Amino acid sequence: MSRTDLSQTYQEQGDLFARILAALADSGRSTDRVTVEDLAPVDHFHARGFPATVELAERLPIKAGDRLVDIGCGVGGPARYLAKRFGCHVSGIDITARFVDTGNKLTELVGLTSQVEIELGDGQTLPYADAQFDGAYSQHVTMNVPDRAAFFAEACRVLKPGAFFALTEHGLGPTGDPRYPVPWSDDGRGAYLITPNETRAALEAAGFTDIHIQETGQHYLSGYKAAVAKAEAGTLPAFGVHLLMGDSAVDKIRNAGINIEEGRTCPIQVICRKA
């Protein structure tokens, strides 16, 4: 099975948890009684951040007591939000050790360890038994996944029949050849974009049905442009998702927008279910 090379993308040195707490304090918030909402500007590591998670949640049939899996959960903001909002349990898995470590510390900080746990692992080989989960989701992860067939087959395997799978990603656009750096790759290493049609075919082959694909690029574009404008004006809040992106965060955000405008990428949101 192919391995994902993310050594350049998410591996910046330093104590990420400490940096998040320091930035939280700098932004004037209390670090004594931190809530899921306090962390939301920084721990939803995908285009449009927290509002995009909220909008996705509103489209998903999640009930109290459900067991969900967040594949490529990052530092776990979406998992904590869904657990708190719906009273469900979320198992997060991520391939980047520093995100797993930081994510579990943030979960403890907001008092949700009985509902959310994050472990180190690869979405291409999930460490769960068959038909365990009532739903699965993966936000902005698959751009880094070389073996989409394995990733989708694993997501399908661990779901109960009829359970939902939600996916957001930057697909490959009609003109292709994205500009780098972008939030998921500094220079093209570890990036494996495929077109929306290829994603649909891969999902069908894995056993998913009722596949609804919505293009989200224009929606993302306004968010990227607003962030770049704030950065250029020196008004980007210190407590933001750019904390997870390293020194070239603004270039990454700028290129993510340009890639959409130039048709190099085609971001999508997919909701489907296991047949």
Binding residues for ligand SAM, per CB under 6 A?
4, 6, 10, 44-46, 72-74, 77-78, 93-96, 99, 122-124, 139-141, 144-145, 183-184
| End-to-end Cα separation, the chain, in angstroms | 25
- The answer to whether 136 and 111 are in contact (CB under 8 A) is no
Using the minimum distance from each CB to ligand SAM, give the nearer residue, 32 or 136. Answer: 136
Handedness of CA 243, 245, 246, 251 (dihedral sign): negative
- Give the DSSP H/E element, type plus range, for residue 79: helix 77-86
Kindly tell me which of 74 and 178 has the beta carbon lying closer to ligand SAM: 74
- Quickly list DSSP for 218-244: HHHHHHHHHHHHHHHHT---SSSGGGG
| Least spacing, CB of residue 72 vs ligand SAM, in Å | 3
> Residue 237 CB, nearest distance to ligand SAM (Å)?
18
Whole-number minimum distance, CB 69 to ligand SAM, in Å?
Answer: 11
CA separation for the pair 254, 250 (Å, rounded): 6
Shortest CB 187 distance to ligand SAM, Å: 16
- Quick one: DSSP state of residue 50? H
**Length of the chain, please?**
275
Are 67 and 137 in contact by the 8 Å Cβ rule? The answer is no
Q: Which of 74/257 has CB closer to ligand SAM?
A: 74
Smallest distance from the beta carbon of 151 to ligand SAM, in angstroms? 7
For the chain, state the CA radius of gyration.
17
| Residue 80 or 274 with smaller CB distance to ligand SAM | 80
Residue nearest to ligand SAM (CB): 74
- Closest CB to ligand SAM among 149 and 275? 149
